[in-house]
């Protein structure tokens, strides 16, 4: 085991954190190893009182940073509104009227790290790196009582403590567990706080362990816990309520702001989470992302995809076939089509100068033979298939597997047909896609088969409609189009969506552009105790947020908004796997 070392004391560097509050700073505690204070170390695991957490940490020049989502989720700090990306006010066991603790921050590897050096000294945390892990020992305080009360909005649990204690929340649909670094809970007293019929909190269990206490609640599926802290004396407060959203307005990075609040439309309040992004900000860029950079197929949780691409933030985007995991809409990255548009559905396009286009998109593609014959292409690298010709390039992946029965696969190398291969049942044939060519999947088109014989040379032409889309290197499709020139232009049927899709109320994602040129990446969830939004309501929400143009994205369980290691809008376990998204990339 490494020896211990002292982190730099408060004020030792210009970037030292500012600590406000009533408690005096303790003398610098013994931390880390006796290596030089300037040594840099990093890892992705933090062990708190023996409990391992997947949490990035960085040690730079004697200053220790933790990813901000960890302080929020695993230590119990409340992130307050912030106008500066370089500082983050937080509150922890302090009165709402007291001056907050202000922590310095920096961006690295898609995370925002908060400098906890002085905070650790203040509260007597013992810290020691061990390879890629960081061990933190926090004082374990005593639980002096647990109380429960019924409120107009739901249920409240109050845990009285002998001092401030770190805590984290783990959620799944219909239940939560608060892991509290405190001891002394008496299971025999749980019956005194038993729940009653009609409560949002339907069951409560308190389980002491050797190092902490776990408070597990079973709750109505329309409710969630909102956990906070108070001082004088120290208390942990667990509010179980349907209107659980805590408003936030945090400047997370230059050109990137995280906001969330309730917005009302049709007389109903909806919890709305969004990122406002300035695409002209130096060091910030947006790119389409999808499950696997090697292939256009497959699905994964948005968190996994964003971290694979090392995106700092992301929103789910286009549609896909849940059975075969193939894309159903346009994806273009850095001028290269990954998947083509379908059904003239709405899409968003942008460039590095901050220009944005939102409109309905079509791609007219044809192939012509050297013998004067011409054939339209039905789709490009797409899971949307029917009679006609589908084109599959290396962007689809190294191989293609037949999607429909009795396809004939035409291999083209260096613009020349080299073979035709009949297939049987769907999924029965897999062949390589040539690196210097492409495949044509001919479906129920005998005329094309007669023309596309080995030796014939081919040329391809394509044109985007509107033509302006061809000028943009980045494109992602969704649909339907919601707002154009500040006017709601919703027409789901015109974009090939079913009547049931057009009329349902659901959890939703959308993207819009404001008259300031900023982009809004928006997710919306169920109103408290009620339903999700209809497409017209989502269009009105986008108008309220200031969208001049706006596009609906895939929604329901796919709706996911990611920022710096966390999903902002939902419990991760409730998020479905998705095919693609829009990623935000930051240079430090």
Q: What is the pLDDT of residues 77-115, one digit of tens each?
A: 999 999 999 999 999 998 878 899 999 999 999 999 999
Whether 20 has a pLDDT exceeding 80, the answer reads no
If DSSP codes are grouped into helix, strand and coil, which group holds residue 348? Answer: strand
Single out the residue of 194, 230, 85 nearest to residue 563, CA to CA. Answer: 85
User: Minimum mean pLDDT among 4-18, 51-65, 147-161, 513-527: which range?
Assistant: 4-18
Alpha-helix runs per DSSP H in 452-545: 499-503, 535-544
Closest by Cα among 484, 487, 176 to 360: 484
User: In which band, very low, low, confident or very high, does the pLDDT at 198 lie, cut at 50, 70 and 90?
Assistant: confident
* Alpha-carbon distances, residue 195 vs 150, 238, 398, 448 (angstroms): 9, 14, 58, 71
Q: What separation in angstroms does the CA of 320 have from each of 97, 291, 331, 511, 581?
A: 49, 12, 11, 18, 11
Contact 74, 67 (CB under 8 A): no
Q: What is the mean pLDDT of residues 446-467?
A: 97
pLDDT: which is higher, 79 or 185: 79
Residue 234 makes CB contacts below 8 A (sequence gap 6+) with: 93, 141, 160, 161, 162, 163, 164, 165
Q: How far is CA 65 from CA 21, 115, 138, 491, in A?
A: 21, 4, 16, 49
Look at residue 186 and tell me whether its pLDDT is greater than 90.
Answer: no
Report the pLDDT value the prediction gives residue 90, as an integer from 0 to 100.
96
Percentage of the chain exceeding pLDDT 70: 92
CA separation for the pair 138, 161 (Å, rounded): 15
Backbone φ/ψ region at 282: left (φ over 0), alpha (ψ -120 to 50), beta: beta
In whole angstroms, give the CA distance from residue 515 to residue 140: 52
**Quick one: pLDDT at residue 12?**
40
Give the whole-angstrom CA distance, residue 588 versus residue 160.
Answer: 42
Segments of 61-210 assigned E as strands: 63-67, 78-79, 87-91, 101-108, 111-115, 126-130, 133-137, 141-151, 154-161, 167-172, 175-180, 182-183, 201-208
The strand pair at 224-230 and 182-183 is best described as unpaired
pLDDT number for residue 188: 64
Kindly give, in sequence order, each residue whose CB lies less than 8 Å from that of residue 42, ignoring residues fewer than 6 positions away: 56, 57, 58, 59, 132
Instruction: Kindly indicate the confidence band of residue 33, based on its pLDDT and cuts at 50, 70 and 90.
Output: very low
Distance from C-alpha of 122 to C-alpha of 126, rounded to nearest angstrom:
11
Assess contact for 282 and 289: CB atoms under 8 A. no
How does DSSP classify residue 12? S
Q: Which two tokens stand for residue 205?
A: 């269990």
Q: Evaluate if residue 32 carries a pLDDT over 50.
A: no
pLDDT of 191 above 90: no
- pLDDT band at residue 194 under the 50/70/90 scheme: low
- β-bridge pairing 248-253 and 256-265: antiparallel
Within its chain, how far is the Cα of 321 from the centroid?
A: 20
Q: How far apart are CA 504 and CA 531, in angstroms?
A: 10
The reported pLDDT for the residue numbered 98 is: 83
Cβ atoms within 10 Å, residue 460: 13
d(CA 492, CA 346): 10
Cβ contact 556:569 at 8 Å? no
- Taking the C-alpha atoms of residue 80 and residue 336, their distance in angstroms, rounded to an integer, is 41
* Spatial distance between the Cα atoms of 155 and 112, rounded to a whole number of angstroms: 34
pLDDT in the model for residue 190:
61
pTM listed for this prediction: 0.93
Residue 146 is predicted with a pLDDT of 92
pLDDT tens per residue across span 525-535: 999 989 999 99
- What angle (nearest 5°) sits at the alpha carbon of residue 354, between those of residues 68 and 586? 25
The answer to whether residue 26 scores a pLDDT higher than 90 is: no
Residue with tokens 């079509």: 362
- Tokens for 374, please give them: 């011409």
463 close to 405: Cβ distance less than 8 angstroms: no
Quick one: pLDDT at residue 490?
98
Beta carbons of 291 and 569 less than 8 angstroms apart: no
Tokens found for residue 161: 């403590």
Q: Contact, 377 vs 367, CB < 8 A?
A: yes
- Residue 587 confidence (pLDDT): 87
Nearest of 331, 321, 318 to residue 298 by alpha carbon = 321
């Amino acid at each position: 085991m490494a020896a211990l070392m002292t982190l730099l004391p408060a004020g030792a560097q210009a970037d030292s954190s500012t600590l406000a509050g009533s408690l005096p700073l303790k003398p610098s505690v013994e931390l880390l190893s006796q290596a030089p204070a300037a040594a840099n170390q990093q890892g992705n695991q933090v062990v708190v009182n023996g409990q391992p957490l997947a949490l990035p940490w960085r040690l730079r020049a004697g200053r220790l940073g933790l990813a901000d989502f960890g302080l929020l989720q695993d230590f119990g700090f409340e992130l307050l509104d912030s106008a500066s990306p370089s500082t983050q006010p937080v509150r922890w066991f302090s009165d709402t009227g007291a001056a907050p603790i202000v922590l310095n921050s920096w961006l690295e590897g898609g995370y925002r790290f908060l400098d906890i050096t002085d905070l650790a000294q203040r509260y007597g945390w013992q810290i020691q790196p061990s390879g890629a892990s960081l061990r933190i020992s926090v004082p374990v305080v005593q639980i002096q009582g647990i109380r429960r009360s019924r409120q107009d909005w739901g249920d409240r649990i109050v845990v009285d403590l002998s001092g401030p204690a770190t805590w984290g929340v783990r959620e799944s649909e219909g239940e939560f567990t608060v892991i509290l670094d405190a001891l002394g809970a008496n299971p025999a007293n749980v019956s005194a706080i038993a729940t009653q019929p009609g409560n949002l909190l339907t069951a409560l269990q308190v389980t002491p362990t050797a190092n902490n206490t776990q408070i597990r609640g079973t709750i109505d599926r329309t409710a969630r816990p909102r956990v906070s802290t108070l001082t004088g004396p120290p208390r942990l407060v667990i509010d179980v309520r349907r209107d659980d959203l805590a408003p936030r307005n945090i400047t997370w990075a230059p050109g990137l702001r995280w906001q969330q609040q309730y917005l009302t439309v049709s007389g109903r309040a909806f919890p709305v989470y969004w990122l406002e992004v300035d695409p002209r900000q130096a060091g910030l860029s947006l790119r389409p992302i999808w499950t696997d950079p090697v292939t256009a197929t497959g699905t994964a949780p948005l968190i996994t995809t964003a971290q694979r691409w090392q995106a700092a933030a992301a929103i789910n985007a286009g549609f896909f076939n849940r059975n075969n995991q193939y894309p159903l809409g346009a994806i273009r990255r850095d001028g290269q089509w990954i998947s083509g548009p379908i059904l003239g559905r709405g899409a968003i396009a942008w460039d590095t100068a901050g220009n944005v286009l939102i409109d309905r998109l079509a791609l007219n593609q044809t192939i012509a033979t050297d013998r004067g014959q011409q054939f339209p292409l039905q789709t490009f690298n797409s899971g949307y298939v029917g009679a006609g010709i589908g084109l599959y390039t290396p962007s689809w992946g190294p191989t293609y597997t037949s999607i429909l029965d009795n396809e004939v696969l035409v291999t083209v190398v260096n613009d020349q047909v080299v073979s035709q291969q009949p297939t049987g049942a769907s999924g029965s044939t897999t062949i390589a896609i040539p690196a210097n060519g492409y495949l044509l999947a001919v479906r129920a088109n005998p005329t094309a088969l007669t023309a596309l014989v080995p030796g014939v040379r081919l040329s391809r032409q394509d044109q985007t409609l509107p033509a302006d889309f061809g000028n943009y290197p980045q494109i992602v499709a969704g649909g339907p189009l919601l707002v154009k020139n500040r006017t709601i232009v919703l027409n789901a049927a015109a974009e090939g969506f079913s009547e049931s899709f057009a009329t349902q109320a659901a959890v939703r994602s959308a993207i819009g552009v404001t008259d300031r040129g900023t982009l809004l990446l928006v997710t919306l969830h169920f109103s408290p105790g009620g339903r999700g939004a209809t497409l017209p309501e989502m269009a009105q929400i986008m108008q309220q947020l200031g969208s001049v143009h706006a596009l609906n994205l895939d929604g329901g369980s796919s709706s996911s908004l990611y920022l710096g290691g966390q999903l902002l809008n939902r419990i991760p376990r409730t998020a479905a796997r998705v095919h693609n998204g829009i990623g935000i990339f930051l240079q430090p």
